[in-house]
Structure 1
Amino acid sequence: MSEVLLFIFIIAIIFFVFNTLNTRIKRLEKEIDDLKLKFNPRQQNTSTVQQTEKESVEEPQIPQQVQNIPVQEETIAPELSSPPQKDWLEPVFDFLKQNILTIIGIFTLVLGIGYFVKYAIDKNWIGETLRAGIGLAVGAAIITAGHFLRKNYAVFASIITGGGIAVLYFTTTIAFREYHLFTQNTAFFITTLITVISIALAYYYKSEVLIIFALLGGFSAPLMISTGQSNYLFLFTYLTLLNIGMLAAAFLKNWKSVGWTAYVFTSIYLFHWTSEKPEWLTIVFYIINYIIFYVFALQDYLKNKTLSPWNTLMLVLINFSAIIGLIYIFNTAGYEPVIIFPLIFAVVNAMLFLKEYQKKDFGFSYSVFAALSISLVTVAVALQFKTHLITSVWAVEASLLLYIWKKSGHRIFKTCFYILFPLVIMAQIITWSGYFNKDNMAVILNPVFLTGLITIATTIVNLFLLKKMNESGKTEDNFFETVFAAVSYGIIYLAFLLEITYHISDQPWTAILSIGMLFSIYYVFGLMLLRKKLDINPTIQTGLIYLFLILIAFNASFVASELVTSVLYKDITFSFYMLHLLHWIPFVYVLWSVSSIRDFFQTKISYWALSATITIAVSCGLYNTYLAGSVTSPEYISKAREHFTILYLPIIWTVLASIFIYISLKKNIPEYSRIGFTLIGIMVLKLYSYDVWQMDNISRITAFIILGIILLLSSFTFQRLKNIIRNMVNKKDEEEE
């Protein structure tokens, strides 16, 4: 018992010290106020002066001369612009900075009391009934202390009172689960009574902090007294009553945080019930909670005819979270029609939309209700075609958040869009995995591709919205826009590529690879053609050109080589190989028009990339065509390959090098000269280090003669061109003089 006496003695000392310090602090505050009045006697009349100033502001006397002066609205407008928005987390950080010690203190005190009670139990000092009694008494004592501190220290007292409420909840839970001192009904009655008392205290104290504690306890109470049996009817009847109390408190005191707390906990409970036991009763409570939180979201709209950012976000979340849960129940249980609730929710929002339309008020509320109605109808249509639920809903919701961000400019919707869009990507990837798990799906009209079409449509809408926002100056995050645009074009590409690949999956893998590569080339080529209409970022334009060159080089070398091998082994026809040569159409067009894209040629590496692609495409194209047209049996492939490499490839490289040097002289681009001479150097090095040792005498003589003639003709042509260019420059200088 000596430990108990010591503990009580320490508590008494702490209380005495705190009381003494509190008395001294109050005395010092009074002395400071007296000093202020002594050295600042004008403060005594502060209230009178402020009242006089207020009246003078309300009824200003403007001279006639001043009234006639025109006001320069354009000059004042920038000064009256809306102030920069504060970070929505700033109030939270301010609260924590001012009260973190109080929060840690009450948490530590609760833990200390718990450890002390445990120690007393281990020593067999107190029985089970007395343990519960001590816990309830301590909780009541803490609440009482908070009551007496509330006048001078409101926030501190609220946190103290919340700690006392937590002690009561945990004591009741332990008494029921561990000691079995009373039945489950009795435990539920006690926890409900604690919740009611907590809410009443919060309302009486006008403390939003305290009601958060009360709600946390109220929503945690069912878990505390649970025995593992799922009595969902009883549970959600209790939660509905709790949410109705929340709604009343939110309207009476305009406390937004209580609604969000209730929404988070209610959604968790509902989704758990939905995943464990989807049934008609679940649908009833989804509808009830939809009504409750929809009314909560319209709180400001019903009072002031406006929608705040947080209320708008609640509207979006309650509509789409309810849709996800209800449609999951319908799909799992096989209920029909699956689109009934998206359409019902769309009608609810459309009624408010029509109300705004009739008032001719086309402001923010009008845009939100219209967007919600259109989004829900879009989801209904998508689900009617059996698209994947989560992917479709998230894709539409992301576009809705981006639209609201565009209309309002509030960063909360931007943040939510940033969070949701990656989830859309992950959900779409999971949806695409359906191609590997299902057979005999219809062309286009299958759930996987239809879901992809929904994602494609919303992605295009997102790109359009970002473009408009960029034009209006509402976005400054160019890096995000670039990444988002690149990912968006990638989603569209993959959606079509996977659909094409699925339906040709019974073909030889070389044919699948060829078709996929052709689609990739033409897709990138299409983006390059439409770059101005799509307003594609210059960085992405440059990236598209590099990607196009890589695809051309890979297609001309590896893919075409595999196709030729398949042709020789009779796996595919020669006509299919000729069809594969269609990649030359966009390539030639790009070579003809690439000079108009100035951003691409800002670095020297671009000239080398373009020249390397031309060299690879021409060399491999002629090589593969030579094999496909001249080899009659697979056993002659190696001999034909060696013959082409030794005899024809040096000639091709020499011609290409000459063309590069010619372009360099004509266009005055020195980089092409370096490329041409580098290619000649590689060719000569290959010729003298390898080719001459593999040729017979006739081939060696033929190769040297042809190469020599080409080099001499090229040199002669360059000299003539150089003289022509020099004469043109001199003539121009003489005319200018």
Structure 2
Amino acid sequence: MQWMFMLVGLVLGWILDESFSDALLGALLGLGIGQAVHIGRLGSQANEQRRLLEQAQLALRTVEQRLAVLEGPGIKEPEASAAVPVADIAVTQIPVETPELIWELPPELEPVAAAVNQARHAQPLDAWKPAPTDRERANPPEPNLVERAINAARAWLLGGNTVLRVGVVLLFLGLAFLLRYATEGMVVPIELRYAGVAAVALGLLGLGWWLRTRNNDYALMLQGAAIAVLYLTVFAAMRLHPLLDPSAAFGLLVAVTVFSAILAITQDALGLAAAAALGGFAAPLLASTGAGSHVALFSYFALLNAGILVIAWFKAWRLLNVIGFTGTFGIGLAWGLRSYTPELLWSTEPFLILFFVMYLAIGFLFARR
């Protein structure tokens, strides 16, 4: 869910100003909103589970009280004595006084009777549905959107290997600032600097692949950071410094996307597949010059969705399907609001039908699993 919000924010940020900074800001804002919604849903599920647990505990205590009452100390009947043969003699019946009935319980049974009366008054109308507790009557206020986002960021940073995650974030930011300020106070050729950053990313990718059998989480995080650095390097080489023309940059972004998808399928890593899909849908936005053909754009989306359809045949990755659906129809809707004219009907309608059929098949494959 959070990836969908992130992609929507990326598209909206790009539509507003057609700048990478606004698109990145929109993506971060969408990711924060998605994380907040996800955390809120988890919090409501936790509250529901806590309520059910309290109901079960109260019902269990009620059953224990009933068992204690039913299994209380009783008065054992004396065992019958062995029959002794007696000779036939005349026995005169002596009148025996009938004892007076006592309507009060003996002292040893008074606590049991008190427990019965207490359980009878405390028992609700439905024995298996306890009365609502004070916590249920007054639910605490839920955290707002900002608090949820902060809690989600803290949970991601402090959950698991914190040192590793902080190191990966710092590495990514360091390489980003290196590309941004590559021309200030350095005498090394600009091409060599970009080549060095790309070499570092490829080294991280190779290290992650080598460590995949030893520490899978660590290896996947290194590979994800390397893929992000490669996307950033290609984009910066096209926009910040005119080292690559848009067609070459678009080809490199597509190559990184395909390579990331292969890594994800090989290692059964949904995170890498989601990163590849996000990068694939962001590639035409990052390499756009505003003068492209919508037929080429939708043809590229058709190839990208064909890859998602092939992955859906082998893997039941719902997140990947959601990213593909949102990216395809979200970017298509944005293009339609800005550039569609009635004359373009016959060049756009076949793509719309094709995308509809593709995601109908993807939903059918997911339902079968």
Which of the five TM-score ranges fits, normalised by the shorter chain? 0.5 to 0.7
8 Å contact kept, 1:274–1:282? no
Quick one: structure 1 residues 95 and 203, their matched pair in 2 at CA, closer, same or farther if it must change by over 3 Å? Answer: farther
Provide the rounded CA distance (Å) in 2 between the counterparts of 1:188 and 1:243: 17
Letter in 1 for 2:320: V
Could you tell me which amino acid in structure 1 is paired with residue 275 of structure 2?
Answer: F
In the other structure, the counterpart of 2:354 is: 288
Question: In the alignment, is the contact (CA less than 8 A) between 1:169 and 1:191 conserved in 2?
Answer: yes
- Name the residue aligned to 1:137: 199
Shift of the 95–162 alpha-carbon distance from structure 1 to 2, 3 Å rule, reads: farther
Identify which of 122, 125, 148 aligns with 2:184.
Answer: 122
Taking the TM superposition and a 5 Å limit, the aligned residue runs for 1:210-359 are 210-278=272-340, 279-280=344-345, 281-301=347-367, 303=368
Distance 1:118 1:101, change over 3 A: same
Q: Letter of the aligned partner of 1:205 in structure 2? A: Q
Residue 120 of structure 1: CA displacement?
4.9
1:98 aligns with 2:98: no
Once the two structures are TM-superposed, the CA of residue 118 in structure 1 deviates from its matched residue by 4.3
- Structure-2 residue corresponding to 1:171: 233
Separation in 1 of the partners of 2:297 and 2:155?
A: 34
Per-residue CA deviation, residues 339-362 of structure 1 (Å, 9 max, x unaligned), is: xxxxxxxxxxxxxxxxxxxxxxxx
Read off the aligned partner of 1:257 and give its amino acid letter: L
Letter in 1 for 2:297: L
Aligned residues: 214
The alignment's TM-score, normalised by the length of structure 2, stands at 0.53
Structure-1 separation of matches of 2:318 and 2:350: 25
Instruction: Tell me the distance in 1 between the aligned counterparts of 2:166 and 2:155.
Output: 13
> What is the CA–CA distance in structure 2 between the aligned matches of 1:267 and 1:103, rounded to whole Å?
33
Letter in 2 for 1:244: A
Percent identity of equivalent pairs:
28
The answer as to whether partners of 1:162 and 1:214 remain within 8 angstroms in 2 is no
> In 2, Cα distance between the equivalents of 1:163 and 1:300?
29
CA distance in 1, matches of 2:288, 2:211: 35
Q: Distance in 2 between matches of 1:212 and 1:197?
A: 13
In the TM superposition, residue 178 of structure 1 has moved relative to its aligned partner by 2.5
TM-score, normalising length: structure 1: 0.28
CA distance in 1, matches of 2:229, 2:294: 27
Q: Is the 8 A contact 2:179 2:236 kept in 1?
A: no
Rounded Cα–Cα distance in structure 2 between residues aligned with 1:256 and 1:181 = 38
Per-residue CA deviations over 1:667-696 (Å, capped at 9, x if unaligned) read xxxxxxxxxxxxxxxxxxxxxxxxxxxxxx
Structure 2 distance, partners of 1:220, 1:100, is 29
- Asked if structure 1 preserves the Cα contact closer than 8 Å seen for 2:182 and 2:190, the reply is no
Unaligned 5+ residue runs, structure 1?
1-77, 79-91, 305-737
Distance 1:132 1:161 in 2: 19
The CA distance in 2 between the partners of 1:150 and 1:213, in whole Å, is 18
CA drift of 1:198 comes to 0.9
1:107 and 1:243 map into 2 onto residues whose CA distance is: 30
Q: 1:269 to 1:117 in 2, by over 3 A?
A: closer
Q: Structure 2: which amino acid aligns with 1:298?
A: F
User: Structure 1 CA distance, aligned partners of 2:317 and 2:164?
Assistant: 22
In the alignment, does 2:220 pair up with 1:155?
A: no
1:98 to 1:250, Cα distance in 2 relative to 1, 3 A: farther
Rg larger in 1 or in 2? 1
Q: Is the 8 A contact 1:155 1:209 kept in 2?
A: no
* Structure (1 or 2) with the greater helix fraction: 1
Gap runs ≥5 in structure 2 = 1-127, 129-151
Distance 1:99 1:223, change over 3 A: farther
Output one character per residue of 1:519-571: Cα deviation in whole Å (capped at 9) or x when no partner: xxxxxxxxxxxxxxxxxxxxxxxxxxxxxxxxxxxxxxxxxxxxxxxxxxxxx
| Contact 1:199/1:211 (<8 A) preserved | yes
Is the 1:188–1:222 Cα contact (8 Å) retained in structure 2?
yes
